[in-house]
Structure 1
Amino acid sequence: MAAALDLDTLLATHAGHVALVIGNGINRHGGAASNSWEALLMKIAARCGIPLPKVPQGTQYTEFYDVLGLRSAGATSDLAAEFCELMAGWQVLDHHRTVVGWASRHAVPVLTTNFEEVLSEAAGARFLGTGLSGFTDYYPWQCRFAHDLHLDPCAGFGIWHINGMARYKRSVRLGLSDYVGSAHRAREMFHRGGSQLFRAKDPARWAGARTWLHLFFNKPLLFLGLALEENEVFLRWLLIERARYFRKFPRRRQPAWYVYKPEAGNLNEAGKLFFLQGVDVTCLAIRDHDAIWASAGWTS
């Protein structure tokens, strides 16, 4: 069941409190429908000698990418670099500026699954964070694009890249193996060692307190432009862990909303909504994608 709430109201009532989680839908809107990950994967597949019109049904994008890595003569990092190079021509559009402008005005953090820097270019933000301890270009989770550096990720505006960023090719998470690696790294912070999240008496003091993971567990989340289907293994696992964390610490509970356009004939949609509602995410149906990116709420 979709929530009896509209996006305009949600943006108005949660400005300054929510964190946005933005997927590639923002890049495909406004006459740029060709900016799809599947289209990029098909180009790489052709160069690997696997000419296909689309990813075969029954194969997830992540699995397809891993197969390309196995078929390629080069390293997987070379494929990641090629994938990012194909994004180099993606342009900043008005709705990019509108969304990140709202986020900047209200000190709202932005989490994105995208690799390119379109959102940070739209915001005029600079790259920050490599000077912090524990930096690795495999998992630059402490880095963000912002106007000012806040040690507490929740303290102000910043654009954080969940699955890596184009400037660090080894950080790009595209395959199922990549997602498993990210989950393993996050799990170490959640459940192992002396500063684990699930034993932290002070939620501001744990191993991931300076990373984007801190936002994920300490802010209300608003998911936009994300399919959140079965291939999003890492994000869906994080939502399970988030729900478990709030059951252990109910006073720390934060809401989450998933905005989506219902797809007629999509047999998997009911299962996805069942999963999201099961991990305490409120699902908000909209009539079309203009209702997201052209929402009057962004002008507040």
Structure 2
Amino acid sequence: MIGNGINIHGAGNRNSWERLLVQIAHHCAVDVPSVPKGTALTEFYDVLEMKRSSPTADGDDQNITLNLQAEFCRLMERWEPLLHHHTIMNWAVRHGVPVLTTNFEEVLSEAAGCDFIRPPELPFTDFYPWSCRFANQLLDDPCDGFGIWHINGMRRYQRSIRLGLSHYMGSVQRARTWLHRGEVNLFNAKNRPDWDGARTWVHLIFNKPLLIFGLGLTEAEVFLRWLLIERARYFRKFPERAHPAWYVYTPEVDDTSEAGKLFFLEGVGITSVKADYAEIYESPSWAA
């Protein structure tokens, strides 16, 4: 599972989501140099979305009509893959490893040289295109080979972009139905492929080992943290189906939340591994 750290490495701060949100804030008459401390990025986005329909600061009665999701996507249009994108994606292709990403843009798929695939026989909504992937071939079982799956939405479907806390809660609600409700939910299915999310990226969370890097996994990542809790509960119910997971991170100076995050990850069965950015993105192991 790859976060936006892969885009920040080698590109400086210009590819950070915080920087993009601050740019968007200026269009919403919110003049701040950075996201205020104590405000999560998800909460900051929700505030901007509310400001969008408020009068501008100079008293103009005309409502702001900016589509924040579309604007966020537009600001990522020029992002391009760097050498480490190609190296890591080539490794995944060679070894037939599925790739989950919280990123919205198509930098990883461009680096891998693969195509967008939307299974024609499956139900589709552009709010939650969870069965769509970038790959070289369509596989019925997501675990069977390489594919790039966008957890929080993709740029080509702007309404799928999950940026705010409200968005994350919507994703939780949708996934919870597949996991716990109905006759063919994950926790009741007799066979792992026999459940409603079996042909989506959610299947990978519960049926493959996870290597997580480039991702903050802070307490603001409500949806992902909830999925990891459900994964741990699923493995407790079916220990024979359990898979390991690793979280690779670079310690940040004065990060007061790090201890709590590592406590949480240990509690849901994830091993934390320290590494600097070069060890993560420029490791010779990616050439294997």
TM-score (norm 1): 0.91
Report the CA distance between 1:132 and its aligned residue.
3.1
- Give the % identical residues: 61
- Judged with a 3 Å threshold, the aligned counterparts in structure 2 of structure 1 residues 222 and 76 are, in CA distance, closer, same or farther, namely farther
Report the Cα distance in structure 1 between the residues aligned to 2:261 and 2:234, rounded to whole angstroms: 21
Evaluate the alpha carbon distance shift between residue 121 and residue 278 of structure 1 in structure 2; reply closer, same or farther with a 3 A threshold: same
Q: Determine the structure 2 residue equivalent to 1:35.
A: 15
> For 2:160 and 2:17, how far apart are their aligned partners in 1?
17
Where do 4+ consecutive residues of structure 1 move more than 6 Å?
Answer: 74-77
Q: Secondary structure at the match of 1:46?
A: helix
Mapped partners of 1:195, 1:47: distance in 2: 45
Q: How far is the alpha carbon of 1:134 from its aligned partner?
A: 1.2
What's the secondary structure of 1:89's corresponding residue?
A: coil
2:38 corresponds to 1:52: no
User: What does the per-residue CA deviation read over 1:166-192, in whole Å, with 9 as the maximum and x for residues that have no partner?
Assistant: 000111000000000000000000000
Under a length normalisation based on structure 2, what TM-score does the superposition of the two structures give?
0.95
Mark the CA change 1:210 to 1:71 in structure 2 (over 3 Å): closer, same or farther.
same
Tell me, which stretches of 5 or more residues in structure 1 are unaligned?
A: 1-20
Q: 1:115-194 alignment to 2 at 5 Å?
A: 115-194=104-183
Match of 1:298 in 2: 286
SS at match of 1:33: helix
- The root-mean-square deviation of aligned C-alpha atoms, in Å, is 1.2
Relative contact order: is structure 1 or structure 2 higher (C-alpha 8 Å, sep ≥ 6)? 1
Q: Which runs of 5+ in 2 are unaligned?
A: 54-62
Report 1:123-272 matches (<5 A): 123-272=112-261
Q: Offset of 1:264 from its aligned partner? A: 2.5
In structure 2, the CA distance between the partners of 1:274 and 1:162, relative to structure 1 (3 Å rule), is: same
Shift in Å at residue 254 of structure 1?
Answer: 0.5
Partner of 1:70: 50
Figure out how many residues of one structure are paired with residues of the other and give that number.
Answer: 279
2:56 aligns to what?
none
1:100 to 2:80 alignment: no
